[in-house]
Structure 1
């Protein structure tokens, strides 16, 4: 239990930090790619879709799972709090509240990562839709000529 207590925060926040780094990295990579992509250079919509949606699943997965990582940290923090209170043989409201408040910071961090990740994913998917529509419009114009 002491190992869990000693390394819980660093583990949970380390994982969330790594997830945040990956989400930011992939979001920036997609933004730079979208700026230079030329939909009219593709010969088939599916090939364009494959290139446009690369890394988007990872961003979505991070956004969907970050709250669960935070929740795991919270549950383990509450477990540690109750375990320590059980060994003290006293019931102090302040100790309980302090332990619970510290445990909840992991969930807050997970949610704080999830919100911008999902927003980035939705914004990038909108850009995928726009670029796909541009491809279709370009193809339609080519067939009319």
Structure 2
């Protein structure tokens, strides 16, 4: 059951980093627009800032949703493991009491 949880964990870890990369690229676009047209062109500046903010928000959103699902799946795996342990203990004690009764 734990076999593919690493993938969800990787997405949770990598999503904010990719959002940060998008933020950096958006700021670079902003500085490029400022260098080419100066402060007189607010549309070029705001496009780069918009890209940066969108990338950050998207990265954080993916990480939060992924973390919620990762924790839910991880909890379910532990609960199933605990249930299996209880069943094995009950089966073991049942066999032991049956063996004592037969003796």
TM range (shorter): 0.7 to 0.9
Asked if 1:140 corresponds to 2:89, the answer is: yes
RMSD across aligned positions (CA): 1.6
What is aligned with 1:94?
Answer: 42
Question: How far does the alpha carbon of each residue in 1:86-128 deviate from its partner, in whole angstroms, 9 at most, with x for none?
Answer: 122x224834344212321011111111111110000000001
Q: Give the TM-score of the pair, scaled to structure 2.
A: 0.81
Counterpart residue number, 1:127: 76
Relative to the length of structure 1, the TM-score reads 0.59
* Aligned: 1:66 with 2:15: yes
Task: Tell me whether 1:103 sits opposite 2:103 in the alignment.
Answer: no
Mapped to 2, the partners of 1:99 and 1:79 lie a distance apart of 8
Counterpart CA distance in 2 for 1:94 and 1:84 is: 9
Q: Who is 1:115 aligned against?
A: 64
Partner of 1:83: 32
Aligned length: 93
Which 4+ residue blocks in structure 1 deviate beyond 2 angstroms?
92-99
Larger Rg: 1 or 2? 2
CA distance in 2, matches of 1:94, 1:71: 23
CA contact (8 A) 1:64 1:114 kept: yes
